[in-house]
A and B are shown apart, each in its own frame.
Chain A
Amino acid sequence: MRSDVVRLYKVVHTWTGITAGMFLFIAFYAGSITVFAEPLARWVSSPAPVRLTALARSDELIARTLAVRPDAAKEFTLYLTDTEDLWARLTWRKGKDDRTPWSAELSPAGEVRLAQSYRSSLADFVDNIHRTAGIPGANDIGETIMGVVSAVYAVALVSGLIIVLPSLVKDLFALRIGANLKRMWLDAHNVVGVVSLPFHIVIALSAVVFCLHDQLYDALDYVVYDGRLKSIMAASNPFNSIKKDERPAPMLPVNALLERVKAASPSFVPAEMRYRNAGSRGASVQVWGYDTRYMTRGKGFAVISPVTGEIANTDYLPGREGTWTGVVATFFALHFATFGGDVVRVCYFLLGIAGAFLFYSGNLLWIESRRRTERRNGGPVIQKTSTRLMSAATVGVCLGAICAISITIVAAKWLNGRVANIDVWHNGVYYAVFLASVLWSFLRGAAAASVELLWLAAIAAAAIPFTSLFSWALPALGMQGSASMAALGVDLVALSAALCFVWMARSAAHRVQCGPADSVWAASHRQLQEAAR
């Protein structure tokens, strides 16, 4: 590689990295947590207020619910699992964004009990932070911005690879720990970047697609499909595979339908059944579930007619997808870690945290390359505004997001069932903590704020297992902590995170007091003393 090309790509890498870095830090940190969205949902859930109807009585539950509430026939969901975050056996809602769905249960005597309750998911909130990096706004503006950020991130990846290629063999496994701290951070940045490069390429490309698919489809429709894409999409839509027919017809029992799906794919484990137009000849049921033997989009589904029992569509049934949806399912799986079970999920969690480290260390290197040094200036220095502001922003945004997510998780458990609209509280707590952290970092300076915010991060993370302890020890609080392995896993990870933050806070404090005084990470009074000498 010619050295002038490498120099040029160094500039590309610097500016793409510094533009996208902090957005990506938040997206990766929240994304790592989103890999374990299900355990998080189970950790935060409060037990269902009534005993859930036994699965064996599902047919009776459906029949009786439809008898008292015919409006539910248009679309309702029957849940087949029995985890603690399940709050009702049968629910229906008006449209996708209806936050107050109805639910129905059977009393032991066989009466239908209806309830309408506000539902929200903490896991969805964290996922939302992952997808938008916390950029608020209507019309998915956050996602669109993150689509552009992801495109910039892809360029940063390729340019980073081009820079390290000439010295790859020589430098890759050299982690030069020593007096030259910048060299050590650069070595660490390079080895993490190169080792996890395939993961990053997959994430960057799929994130661009997830965030910008509307725009990409529009362009393809205009240029390639000549306006016919909508009709092709409608023809491909699995939900249209059973034609509407309003003549009444009896439905087969739940178990019979599940048997048919099992026959079609024995390794598929159903989790929920979404009925549409129940009771009519054109009724359909989407049986959603998991299959760990295949690379899946997450949940897959088969569409089955509850009247005839025929399977109408398997385009999204793992292992039965067909060429086109099968290939795309692989891309989804590579982003969502929905293959290979818990081992892959743990790997994705660690790769995600390593990715966050990559962006953080990238910003540190930017700062280190630009700060004034005593050596170059031949004496004590006052740092440039650019490095001062960038270090404050890096600390405030990155540590702010970490603190805000932990505190939102804790607050969700304490507020669950005590406030009317918990979504508002998720947002309020997250943005209050995040913005306060950023403000704090600019007011106090990066050096002091890094130590203080790391302590806050440690306390906030430790509050997660302590919340569980409280909920077990004091049942009067009404939080009823979950004792499943999944929920305990959340406590355990949070506890180890807290210990990591303590270690980081202590070494950051050491650096503030004892590190080089011409660093942006030295205590400000030391920087001033140096300069005044």
Chain B
Amino acid sequence: MNQIRRDWASKTSAGAILGFSLAIGLAGLFAWLTPGGLATPNKFQLVMWLTAPIWLTTLSLCFFFSSGMRAWLWLGGANLLAYAGLFACRFFLR
């Protein structure tokens, strides 16, 4: 089995930056897709709370990727999916 690469800078930045954007994207999907949609009063607080666990779980676990490159690719892909979903919501649910 290949030795896991340390890649501190690229893994940490992937977890911090892409983890954050992923958290915003997934929380956004939650806001759109749970009952009532985006403009439901009082929902925005829970939406904001959701970002912290998603962001920090990603940041904490991203050192499991075998290299920084893989971390960027996988998390980048996850971001693409999340934001594609977000744009779809904007387009179809508005």
Distance in Å: Cβ of A413 to nearest Cβ of chain B:
38
Q: For the complex, is A359 an interface residue (Cβ under 8 Å from B)?
A: no
> By the criterion of a CB under 8 Å from any partner CB, how many residues of chain A are at the interface?
40
Q: For the complex, is B25 an interface residue (Cβ under 8 Å from A)?
A: yes
Q: For the complex, is A284 an interface residue (Cβ under 8 Å from B)?
A: no
Chain B residues with CB under 8 Å of A157's CB are 60
21 contacts between A and B (CB under 8 A): A9-B63, A11-B6, A151-B55, A154-B59, A155-B60, A158-B56, A158-B60, A204-B56, A216-B48, A216-B51, A220-B24, A220-B28, A220-B48, A223-B86, A224-B28, A224-B32, A225-B44, A228-B39, A315-B42, A324-B43, A327-B46
What sequence of 0s and 1s flags, for each residue 7-46 of chain B, a beta carbon within 8 Å of any chain A beta carbon? 0000000000000100011011001100000111111111
Complex Cα spacing A159 to B63, Å = 9
Q: For the complex, is A350 an interface residue (Cβ under 8 Å from B)?
A: no
Q: For the complex, is A233 an interface residue (Cβ under 8 Å from B)?
A: yes
Are A220 and B44 neighbours in the complex by a CB distance under 8 Å?
yes
Chain A residues with CB under 8 Å of B24's CB are 219-220, 223-224
Contacts of A143-162 to chain B: CB distance below 8 A: 151, 154-155, 157-159
Are A236 and B42 neighbours in the complex by a CB distance under 8 Å?
yes
Q: For the complex, is A397 an interface residue (Cβ under 8 Å from B)?
A: no
Interface residues of B (CB under 8 A from A): 1, 3-4, 6, 20, 24-25, 27-28, 31-32, 38-49, 51-53, 55-57, 59-61, 63-64, 86, 90
- Describe B's contact surface by its main secondary structure: helix
Query: Which of A151, A159, A220 meets B27, CB within 8 Å?
Result: A220
A-B contact count (CB 8 A): 100
9 smallest CB-CB distances across A and B, nearest first, come from A224-B28, A158-B60, A236-B41, A154-B56, A324-B42, A208-B52, A236-B42, A328-B45, A324-B43
Complex Cα spacing A322 to B61, Å = 34
Complex Cα spacing A328 to B24, Å = 18
Complex Cα spacing A276 to B53, Å = 38
Contacts of A1-24 to chain B: CB distance below 8 A: 2, 4-5, 8-9, 11-12
What sequence of 0s and 1s flags, for each residue 234-254 of chain A, a beta carbon within 8 Å of any chain B beta carbon? 011000000000000000000
Interface residues of A (CB under 8 A from B): 2, 4-5, 8-9, 11-12, 151, 154-155, 157-159, 204-206, 208-209, 213, 216-217, 219-220, 223-226, 228-229, 232-233, 235-236, 315, 322, 324-325, 327-328, 331
Chain B residues with CB under 8 Å of A205's CB are 52-53, 56
Residue of B nearest to A235 (CB): B41
Are B6 and A155 neighbours in the complex by a CB distance under 8 Å?
no
Give the most central of A155, A157, A208: most B CB within 10 Å.
A155
Residue of A nearest to B41 (CB): A236
Query: Which of A12, A223, A225 meets B63, CB within 8 Å?
Result: A12
Complex Cα spacing A54 to B86, Å = 58
Distance in Å: Cβ of B28 to nearest Cβ of chain A:
3
Are A8 and B45 neighbours in the complex by a CB distance under 8 Å?
no
Query: Which of A159, A223, A225 meets B38, CB within 8 Å?
Result: A225
A224 with B56, Cβ < 8 A, contacts A4-B4, A8-B6, A158-B61 known: no
Are A232 and B44 neighbours in the complex by a CB distance under 8 Å?
yes
Are A224 and B86 neighbours in the complex by a CB distance under 8 Å?
yes
Query: Which of B4, B43, B44, B60 meets A159, CB within 8 Å?
Result: B60
Chain A residues with CB under 8 Å of B61's CB are 158
Distance in Å: Cβ of A324 to nearest Cβ of chain B:
4
Give the most central of A5, A12, A209, A224: most B CB within 10 Å.
A224
Complex Cα spacing A325 to B46, Å = 8
Complex Cα spacing A169 to B24, Å = 37
Complex Cα spacing A219 to B53, Å = 16
Complex Cα spacing A224 to B43, Å = 13
Chain B residues with CB under 8 Å of A155's CB are 56, 59-60
Distance in Å: Cβ of B22 to nearest Cβ of chain A:
11
Distance in Å: Cβ of B15 to nearest Cβ of chain A:
8
